[in-house]
Amino acid sequence: MSNDNAETADVSNAAAARQRLRESTAPPILGDPKAPVPPLHLPVIREGDGGAWAYTDPQHDDDDVLTGYRQELAEFLDAENAKTQLRMDNADLDAEVRKQRIREQAREQVKAERADAVASAHTVERAQPGGDAILDEPDTPPAVWGSGTKVAWAKGQGMMLASHQGLGKTTLAQQLVLHRMRILQGHFLGMPVEADGRPVLYLGMDRPSQVNQSFRRMVTPDQRQALNNALTIWGGPLPINIASDTSAFADFVEQACPGCGTVVVDSVKDLIPGISKDEVGAALNISWQELIARGVELLLLHHQRKAQQGAARLNTLDDVYGSTWLTSGLGSVFALEGEPGSPTVTLKHLKLVIDPIGPLTLRHDHQAGHTTTQDDSITAASVLYEHGDEGATVSEVAAAVLGRAAKADLQVVRRQLRKLATEQLARKEAGAKTSGGSIEDRWFLTDQGKWAVELGGRDDD
C-alpha cells in the first residue's frame, strides 16, 4: 500500500473510532479531535463505579496498543483538566478584578459627588452680600485666646508658635488646647481661652510617643473619658498629598475627627517635604485656609532657621524656617527664645492681630507640664538691691529671677549682670580659691544702680 493510501486509511480508521465513541455513552471528551485515537479492535466499556472511561478487553489486556493508548489518554485527560482549571481560575480572577474596579469606581464617584456637594455648600456659605460682610464685622476680632485688643489667637485666623528645639512649643500648645477643652480651668498665661465643645485633633507627627508623654504630665487618670470625648491624637505621617490636592488636608481632618473644632499641627515640617520652596509653602497656605474656611481653628508648631555662625538670633518673621507663604496667611505668629531645657524662656509676638502681647517671660515646670508668666518686676538689679551691702552671687540672682540655678540659667544671669556693669549700674567683687574651697564672685549695685531701681526699676533683659 502506498504512503498516501496508508495515511488515508489511518484518517478513516480514526474517524471511524471517534464516530463509535460519539454514538456510545462515552464522555464527549474522548471523541475530541485532539484526543488519542482509540484502537478499532477494542470495544468501549465503562470501567468502575467512578465513571472513568477506557478501552478494555480481557483478551487484549497485555496488548501494547491498549497500554499505549491508556497512557496517552491519561496524559491527555490530565492536560485537559489542567486547562479547564486554569480557565476557571482566570475566570475567578477576572471576576475579582471586575469587582475591584467597580468598587474603585464607586469610591471615586462618591468622593467626587461629596466634593461637589461640599464645594457647593461652601460656595453658598462663603459668598456674602458686600454690605453685610463689611459692616457686620466686629471692631475687634473674637478671640480663641485673648480678649479686647490683646488677642493672641483670633477666631478664623491661624496661629503659629515657632522656636528652636527644646524651648517648650509642644508644652504650650497642649496646655492651650486643654484649656479650650476645659480639662484645664482658668486663664492661660494671663489671657482667657474660649471654650469649644467640639473635639480637638492633635496631629502628633513629630515623635508621637513624646507627644503622649508630654500630655500625660498635665492630666489625671480620672479624666480618661473626658479626654476620649474631647481629644483625638493622630500619630505619624498623614496619608495625604497636600501638594497635589490642597483640599486633602481639610478632608482628612473631617474624616479623622468628625465635627472637629481645633487642629494642632506638631509640626509643620512633617506635613510635606520641601517647605522652603514657595510652591510648597503656597500649597500649605491654601490647605490651611480651606480648613479655616470650614470653621476649624488652626494652631501650627514650627521651627526657626539656624543662626549663621557668629550671628545673633533676631527672632523676626524672616527667621521662621521655610517659604514666606507659611506665615503670610496666618493671623498671629509667636516665637520662643531661650536655652534648650531651661525652665525660663521668652515669648515674643512677631505678627500681631491688633496690639502686641509681651514679650512675656515664661517659666516651665517641666515635671508637671505647667507654664506660668514670671513676675517681670523681679530683675537682676532688684535682687542686688534687696541684698544691699552683702551683695549676691550669680547663683543667688538666678534662683531669685529664674527660679533655679542650672548651667543655662547661670549663663543668662551672667549676661544680665555684665550688661548692668557695662552701664555702671553694678560691680563685681572677684571670688577666690582658698584651702576651704572656692569663694564665688559677688555682685553689688553701684549708687547709680540703686538710684535707678528706686526711680522705677531697670529692664536688664
Give the mean model confidence (pLDDT) for residues 325-333: 97
Distance separating alpha carbons of residues 417 and 151, to the nearest angstrom: 34
Distance separating alpha carbons of residues 8 and 438, to the nearest angstrom: 123
**pLDDT higher for 194 or 45?**
194
Quote the pLDDT of residue 117: 62
pLDDT tens string 87-139: 888 877 778 888 888 888 887 787 677 666 665 555 557 888 999 989 999 98
Give the mean model confidence (pLDDT) for residues 256-279: 96
Residue 372 contacts residue 189 (beta carbons within 8 Å): yes
Residue 376 scores a pLDDT above 70: no
Distance separating alpha carbons of residues 22 and 19, to the nearest angstrom: 5
Quote the pLDDT of residue 96: 80
Quote the pLDDT of residue 2: 53
Please, what are the domains in the chain?
A: 1-123 (no CATH), 143-373 (3.40.50.300), 380-454 (1.10.10.10)
Residue 232 scores a pLDDT above 90: yes
Rg (CA), the chain: 41
Strand ranges across the sheet with 231-235: 231-235, 200-204, 262-266, 297-303, 159-163, 332-337, 344-351, 360-365, 370-373
Of 287, 300, 335, 299, nearest to 315 by C-alpha is 335
The CA–CA distances, whole Å, from 115 to 165, 294, 435 equal 39, 13, 80
Quote the pLDDT of residue 231: 98
Question: Confidence band (pLDDT; 50, 70, 90) for 218?
Answer: very high
**pLDDT higher for 291 or 121?**
291
What mean pLDDT is reported for the chain?
Answer: 84
**pLDDT higher for 22 or 412?**
412
Of 173, 166, 175, 168, nearest to 363 by C-alpha is 168
pLDDT tens string 419-432: 999 999 999 999 88
* Residue indicated by cell numbers 455648600: 121
Quote the pLDDT of residue 298: 98
Give the mean model confidence (pLDDT) for residues 177-181: 97
